Amino acid sequence: MAKYLLLKHYRGAPAPANDVPMDQWTQEEITAHVQYMSDFADRLEKTGEFVDGQALAPEGTFVRYDGEGRPPVTDGPFAETKDLIAGWMVIDVDSYERAVELAGELSAAPGAGGEPIHEWLELRPFLAHPPTITE
Amino acid sequence: MNEALLRGLTPGVIGVLVRRGADFAAAEDAVQDALLEAVRAWAADPPRDPKGWLITVAWNRFLDATRANTARRRREDLVEPAPESTPAVDDTLQLYFLCAHPSLTPSSAVALTLRAVGGLTTRQIAQAYLVPEATMAQRISRAKRTVSTVRFDQPGDVATVLRVLYLVFNEGYSGDIDLAAEAIRLVRQLAAAIDHPEVAGLLALMLLHHARRPSRTTPDGSLVPLAAQDRELWDTHLIAEGVAILQAALARDQLGEFQAQAAIAALHADALAAEETDWVQIVEWYDELVRLTNSPVVRLNRAVAVGEADGARAGLAALVGLESVPRYLAVAAYLHERDGDAELAARLYAEAAAKASNLAERDYLVRQAARLNSG
């Protein structure tokens, strides 16, 4: 029983095999892609492994503290930022192998030509709670 | 009547419904409904016979659900003839076997056990494991489907049940529901249903570890290692109970891994101060555990004990070949520091922190590295 984050990148992951940007897909291809993602989440809920899934807008702002009594400083977005997260899914599974299997399935979402994108997803384990018995 | 007592009636009531002819999944649903109804109704008007009340309400719920389910007319046959056969084997024990059936994944077995044996609601289990309620509901109904063809009176393996209960105790997160206390309640109930030295061993192990709970973390949640724990905070009643249960189990001369683990916990509990710990005897118990399990994790823990009993060099020698075991780096760091190599220890602590699988342990390891680096 462990939770994993499946991270989808706008930028920062290696290029996928079927590397055609979404704005060049047909309407049907976009519909099929969206449907695949939603079916995938539904299926995970039915297997009792779904925790959360969210998508993020590509444009973000950097914010930092600027001292007592002053408003926070904002900056960006920075075009040169190498790593840009597009969204995530959180799963709760019995093993690392199962997490890899599910990430592989999600990466098979169809893109241009109805073919799998083979998108690289980043799989990150959650830091959990410590076990009670350690010695 | 408190909630734990109410929930303690759950397995027996499910057993009655199953013997009256309900299938396990439907019986479990009906009893869950009856438990929710009991929480609502009993506050104002507690029944004289709680179990009888639950059986009546659950049976009516089962009949309602069966009648409503017109697609399954076959079940109508079950509506009136309900002679109760006498259980050949204890119902409670059978439920434990069913909920820990080897066809279930560990997380499914844990969820099903907490609901059908523990009487917890799906929402409580979902909160305890930090997943949405809908996900937990699906996990449980899937588990029920998986075991739907298993005969209720089929004998099971106590070892699989113990592994599930160990998981609840050891990896249960803490939320509103105290899963450690719930695991102890479930092992106590199991011990009442079956006389088995490893059941006793697991109960003793849990009690001895639970006794140390107040000292295991600081108020802000930081880990306190065993050697630094305030032993005044240990619960002496739980320790005494755990030791007594363990001694009775060991006297039967059928050693198993839980008894051996409990023996190690008992030796720690026995030391009034960390430096009074009988590490030589602890190493002997680890030798038994290695013999019983041949587990690399046990060998790693044994290396720590060897380091205390025979010196850091001996501990480091016992670590050879265990490089791929989780927490190897943390143990190596500890032993190298004891051996006088603070620089290497600091580097290993930092590496161990980067590989830690939980936050409290990572923070602890980072602090150790920082302590040595600033020393």
Contacts of A132 in chain B (CB under 8 A): 169-171, 180, 209
Non-local CB neighbours of B12 within 8 Å, separated by 6+ positions: B51, B91, B92
Contacts of B110 in chain A (CB under 8 A): 1
A residues 64..83 contacting B (CB < 8 A):
none
User: Could you say which of A48, A49, A133 has the minimum Cβ distance to residue B170?
Assistant: A133
Mutate to test the interface with A, among B103, B104, B107, B203 (most CBs of A within 10 A): B107
Residues of the domain holding B12: 3-78
Non-local CB neighbours of B219 within 8 Å, separated by 6+ positions: none
User: What was the ipTM of the complex prediction?
Assistant: 0.85
Does residue B96 fall inside a structural domain?
no
Does residue B42 fall inside a structural domain?
yes
User: Tokens in use for B289?
Assistant: 């555990």
Does residue B61 fall inside a structural domain?
yes
Would an 8 Å CB–CB cutoff place B139 in contact with chain A? yes
Cα Dmax for chain B: 79
Domain A2-125, CATH class in plain words: alpha beta
Using CA atoms, how far apart are residues B55 and B11, in angstroms rounded to an integer?
Answer: 11
* pLDDT number for residue B172: 67
Does residue B14 fall inside a structural domain?
yes
* pLDDT number for residue B151: 85
Does residue B158 fall inside a structural domain?
no
Contacts of A128 in chain B (CB under 8 A): 171, 173, 357-359
User: Could you say which of B139, B223, B358 has the minimum Cβ distance to residue A128?
Assistant: B358
Q: For A110-131, write each residue's pLDDT tens digit.
A: 999 999 999 999 999 999 888 8
Residues B209, A133: C-beta atoms closer than 8 Å: yes
Would an 8 Å CB–CB cutoff place B301 in contact with chain A? yes
Question: Interior CA angle at B186 toward B185 and B188, to 5°?
Answer: 65
* pLDDT number for residue B81: 44
In the 8-state DSSP scheme, what is residue A40?
H
Does residue B131 fall inside a structural domain?
no
Would an 8 Å CB–CB cutoff place B134 in contact with chain A? yes
Nearest residue in B to A46, CA atom: B138
A residues 13..32 contacting B (CB < 8 A):
none
User: Could you say which of A48, A127, A133 has the minimum Cβ distance to residue B135?
Assistant: A48
* Single-letter residue type at B241: E
Using CA atoms, how far apart are residues A4 and B105, in angstroms rounded to an integer?
Answer: 17
Q: Which among A96, A101, A119 has a CA at the least distance from the CA of A9?
A: A119
Per-residue pLDDT of chain B (375 residues; tens, 9 = 90+): 677 788 999 999 999 999 898 999 999 999 999 999 998 898 888 899 999 999 999 999 999 998 887 555 555 555 444 555 555 567 889 999 999 999 999 999 999 999 999 999 999 999 999 999 999 999 999 999 999 989 887 888 999 999 999 999 987 666 678 899 999 999 999 999 999 999 999 999 999 999 999 999 888 888 899 999 999 999 999 999 999 999 999 999 999 999 999 999 999 999 999 999 999 999 999 999 999 999 999 999 999 999 999 999 999 999 999 999 999 999 999 999 999 999 999 999 999 999 998 888 999 999 999 999 997
Using CA atoms, how far apart are residues A42 and A50, in angstroms rounded to an integer?
Answer: 8
Does residue B18 fall inside a structural domain?
yes
Q: What is the 3-state secondary structure (H, E, C) of chain B?
A: CCHHHHHHCHHHHHHHHHHCCCCHHHHHHHHHHHHHHHHHHHCCCCCCCHHHHHHHHHHHHHHHHHHHCHHHHHHHHHCCCCCCCCCCCCHHHHHHHHHCCCCCCHHHHHHHHHHHHCCCCHHHHHHHCCCCHHHHHHHHHHHHHHCCCCCCCCCCCHHHHHHHHHHHHHHCCCCCCCHHHHHHHHHHHHHHHCCCHHHHHHHHHHHHHHCCHHHHECCCCCECCHHHCCHHHCCHHHHHHHHHHHHHHHCCCCCCHHHHHHHHHHHHHHCCCHHHCCHHHHHHHHHHHHHHHCCHHHHHHHHHHHHHHHCHHHHHHHCCCCCCCCCHHHHHHHHHHHCCCHHHHHHHHHHHHHHCCEHHHHHHHHHHHHHHHCC
> What are the two backbone dihedrals, phi and then psi, of residue B283, each rounded to the nearest 5 degrees?
-60, -40
* pLDDT number for residue B253: 97
Residues A135, B107: C-beta atoms closer than 8 Å: no
- B29, burial (CB in 10 Å: exposed 0-12, middle 13-18, buried 19+): buried
* pLDDT number for residue B315: 98
Residues A127, B362: C-beta atoms closer than 8 Å: yes
Confidence (pTM): 0.90
Q: Which residue has the tokens 């920082």?
A: B370
* B334 Cα to chain A: minimum distance (Å): 14
Indicate the number of domains in chain B. Answer: 1
- B14, burial (CB in 10 Å: exposed 0-12, middle 13-18, buried 19+): buried
Residues B167, A1: C-beta atoms closer than 8 Å: yes
* Single-letter residue type at A98: R
Non-local CB neighbours of B165 within 8 Å, separated by 6+ positions: B113, B183, B186, B187, B190, B202
Taking residue B195's Cβ as centre, other Cβ atoms within 10 Å add up to 9
How many residue pairs bridge chain A and chain B with CB atoms within 8 Å of each other?
89
Would an 8 Å CB–CB cutoff place B121 in contact with chain A? no
Would an 8 Å CB–CB cutoff place A57 in contact with chain B? no
Nearest residue in B to A50, CA atom: B135
* pLDDT number for residue B85: 54
Residues of chain A with pLDDT under 70: none
